[in-house]
Chains A and B, each alone.
Chain A
Amino acid sequence: MKYVEFMKKVLPLHDDLFDFFYQALPGYEEVGRRRILLGCWGSFNDPEHCDYTYKNMTAWGRKMFVTPGVVVDGKLVTTDLVDINLNIRILLGSSYYDDWKNAETFVKADPLGNPVDKNHPWNQTTIPRPQKRDFAGKYTWVMSPRWLDKRTGDHLALDTGGGPIARLWATALAGLVDIGYIKSTGHSVKIYLPKTMSKPEVEFEWKIPKWSNAIERDRARTYFQAYAAACALHFAEKAMEELHAGKTKTWSDFKVPEEAIGCGFHEAVRGVLSHHVVIRKGKIANYHPYPPTPWNANPRDIYGTPGPYEDAVQNTPIFEENGPDKFKGIDIMRAVRSFDPCLPCGVHMYLGGGKVLKTQHSPMFGVPR
């Protein structure tokens, strides 16, 4: 409850701060802005519905307390975990690996009989090929995960927006979650926090923003903290019911099968997290995890599509007022960190002796596109 109270204090404060950015720096909405291409793999399973079988995955996926979904240009394309699963593609293009065209195809069809692509994680074979770094060719160890939009045939470079913005956006549009504490309306998410020690009850509402940009990614973080706190209250109540009913078992027995395939979809803090495994003779024959980092931090793929960081950062306006000599790249940092707070370590600006990058501080950027 201390945390619930803390959220009541901190959420309005953050809201003010982010609004202030827009007021004080007109045009700031362009920082870290990219096309709305968000992926959320769903979070907080409902034990009443989730049996973890692939066969029923579509149904129990939609019962999650954070709805899985792919949002393209503000439209919800799917909430179906099977659909999400089958259309994941791992592409090369700028990464230090050989392709696996001639390697084994581990999984030809999923348990429902749907065909599984050679570039799907179930069939990926990792063949490292260390080589010189060439920014016009191969330049990273990260591969390029994409989601195939069947409507257009595009391999979309989805981002997680740091996690929260994708979770809230998919959940808001889907309109599936209603637990009292949380209500998805189809265009927003209502978050109810009851009375705490020094604060009365409050209802926050996260409304779908106009942009997928640095500020809105950061704003969604604070809302999702409140969202998680509200869910926690619901879960604590359910847990108490279980306890009072004498149901205290926390673990069920399992046996590793001789032959099997498996997959798992969840949200890590920073966004989508999937696991794909192939088991043979009781051992792991193939395994590929896809946490948020490769989705957000990947390079140009074989089709020339840049990954989200590159996409969000290229042509981003610079509001920093330090001259070229003292240039810190704060706006670029802010853009990248809005995808991933774990990445301050990875984001290091190289200015190429101050010649390559120019400081572009101009009120022109206040003009909306």
Chain B
Amino acid sequence: MGTSTVPYGRSTQKAPAVKEVHILWITAGLGCDGDSVSITAATQPSVEDVVLGAIPGLPKVHLHNPVLAYEVGDDFMKFFYDAEEGRLEPFVLVVEGSIPNENIKREGYWAAMGTNPDTNQPITTNEWIDRLTPKALAVIAIGTCATYGGIHAMEGNPTGCMGLADYLGWDWRSKAGLPIVNVPGCPVQPDNFMETVLYLLYQVAGLAPMIPLDDQLRPTWLFGKTVHEGCDRAGYYEQGDFAEVYGSPKCIVKLGCWGPVVNCNVPKRGWMAGIGGCPNVGGICIGCTMPGFPDKFMPFMDEPPGAHVSSAGISVYGRAIRSLRSITQNTVNKEPKWRHPRAELTTGYHPRSY
């Protein structure tokens, strides 16, 4: 055999439009790093698949995530400074954690990464977002904190924090014309995130059209269905057969499951390698992927509105229920109005009242 023989099938392989892409990941929002930890469990694809080039057609990917990086200190921060100065092109920015409102106080910082050599003070997360978003090819918000504000952005919080789109504006576009891509979840379902990254890398490589997003900027193929539509207890629901206590295989809507109005694929997809999936394994859905989370779903252990109508009897099924549902679904798909970047705190925070 000649050594220079090119295999016939090589013609099937497409070279990516860009050779290399950096993924710059900031975990310094208000959060717990839980999304970074979560994605280490991804298998479809795994982080390793993407970074080590296991998937044909992808550009070479350099991942810079503080939880996963080998580099520390200046060696790690270098990539962020390079990106800011336009020396790290192209890059995708991933933001993890809720974005605090740094304008409501006189000094100090709510959240930060790195130290400003001129002032010796921390560089706020917001400043990094301001520096890097204009240069990024695409911006992904990972987890419910970064997407919509999440737990830190509850009523009464002191930091006035919000989701990335509240901070940058919902009609923000990257220099390549992409909107913010939101992948919510508390934490994010690992494969949901990695699949979104994969899609965007294909798009960057010129192998996929514009990523389809809904009006909450979520990938439609991941968040287009409700928990209820994917739940393996839905048969009980349909028969009006409801659990009154935990530990039962029946539908748990009366125990507080919000599945019917929540956009999330976890019951179908499971958590790790297909195992788990909140209501499937007996845990009520508390709507952790939703813009209205957590305020609009509390108190968690009470029966949600709308559940009552449908659990009253199966004869009223159909269009009537579905329209009632969509009223609730619209509500829980809206963020509370105190999440904004204005220089005022409107969360109802009372420092000494609790």
Q: Residues of A with Cβ closer than 8 Å to B? A: 96, 103-104, 125, 127-133, 248-251, 253, 285-286, 328-329, 333, 342, 344-345, 347-351
B108 to chain A, nearest CB (A): 3
Give 25 pairs: A residue, B residue, CB < 8 Å, sorted on A.
A96-B108, A125-B352, A127-B352, A128-B159, A129-B108, A130-B107, A130-B108, A130-B109, A130-B110, A131-B107, A132-B107, A133-B108, A133-B122, A250-B247, A251-B245, A253-B245, A329-B73, A342-B33, A342-B37, A344-B67, A344-B72, A348-B66, A348-B72, A349-B73, A351-B73
Q: Give the chain B neighbours of A125 by CB distance below 8 A.
A: 352, 354
Question: Residue-by-residue, is B29-43 near A (CB-CB < 8 Å gives 1, otherwise 0)?
Answer: 000010011000000
Q: Which residues of A are found within 8 Å of B106, using beta-carbon distances?
A: 130
Q: Which residues of A contact B354 (CB under 8 A)?
A: 125, 285-286
Chain B residue contacts of A349, Cβ below 8 A: 72-74
Residues of B within 8 A of A130 (CB): 105-110
B247 lies within 8 A of A249 (CB): yes
Q: Contacts A133-B121, A345-B27 known; A350 to B73 CB distance under 8 Å?
A: yes
- B residues sitting closer than 8 Å to A (CB atoms) are 27, 33, 36-37, 66-67, 72-77, 105-110, 115, 120-122, 158-159, 245-247, 351-352, 354
Contact yes or no, A348 B73, CB < 8 A: yes
**Residues of B with C-beta under 8 A to A333:** 72
Say whether, besides A286-B354, A344-B67, A328 and B72 are in contact (CB < 8 Å).
Answer: yes
Question: Please, which residues of chain A bring their CB within 8 A of the CB of B36?
Answer: 345
CA distance A205 to B238 in the complex (A): 56
Q: Is the CB of A350 within 8 A of B115?
A: yes
Q: How far is the CB of B112 from chain A (nearest CB, A)?
A: 9
B159: nearest residue on chain A (CB-CB)? Answer: A128
* Chain A residue nearest in CB terms to B106: A130
Docked complex Cα distance between A250 and B282 (Å): 11
CA distance A160 to B77 in the complex (A): 30
Q: How far is the CA of A344 from the CA of B27 in the complex (A)?
A: 12
Chain A residues closer than 8 Å to B121, beta-carbon distance: 132-133
Bound form: Cα–Cα A242–B245 in Å:
20
**Contact between A348 and B105, CB atoms less than 8 A apart:** no
List A contacts of B66 (CB < 8 A): 344-345, 348
**What 7 A-B pairs come out closest when comparing CB atoms?**
A130-B108, A349-B73, A251-B246, A345-B67, A131-B108, A345-B66, A250-B247
For B351, list chain A residues within 8 Å (CB).
127
Which residues from A are CB-within-8-Å of B110?
130
A329-B72 CB under 8 A given contacts A251-B247, A285-B354, A345-B66: yes
Given the interface pairs A125-B352, A345-B67, the reply to whether A350 lies near B74 with Cβ below 8 Å is yes
Distance between Cα atoms of A347 and B70 in the complex (Å) = 12
- Chain A residues, Cβ within 8 Å of B72: 328-329, 333, 344, 347-349
Q: A130-B105, A130-B109, A344-B67 are in contact. Are A351 and B74 (CB under 8 A)?
A: yes
Task: Let me know if A128 and B158 touch, CB within 8 A.
Answer: yes
Q: For residue A254, which residue of chain B has the nearest CB?
A: B301
> In the assembled complex, which residues on chain A have CB atoms less than 8 Å from the CB atom of B107?
130-132
User: CA–CA, A342 to B245, complex, Å?
Assistant: 36
* B96 → A minimal CB distance (Å): 11
Residue on B with the closest CB to A131? Answer: B108
Q: Which residues of B contact A329 (CB under 8 A)?
A: 72-73
Nearest chain A CB to B249 CB, angstrom units? 12
Asked if A250 and B246 make an inter-chain contact with CB atoms under 8 angstroms apart, the answer reads yes
Which chain B residue lies CB-closest to A249? B247
**In the complex, what distance in Å separates the CA atom of A250 from the CA atom of B352?**
40
Q: How far is the CB of B25 from chain A (nearest CB, A)?
A: 10
Please state if A348 and B247 are interface contacts (CB–CB under 8 Å): no
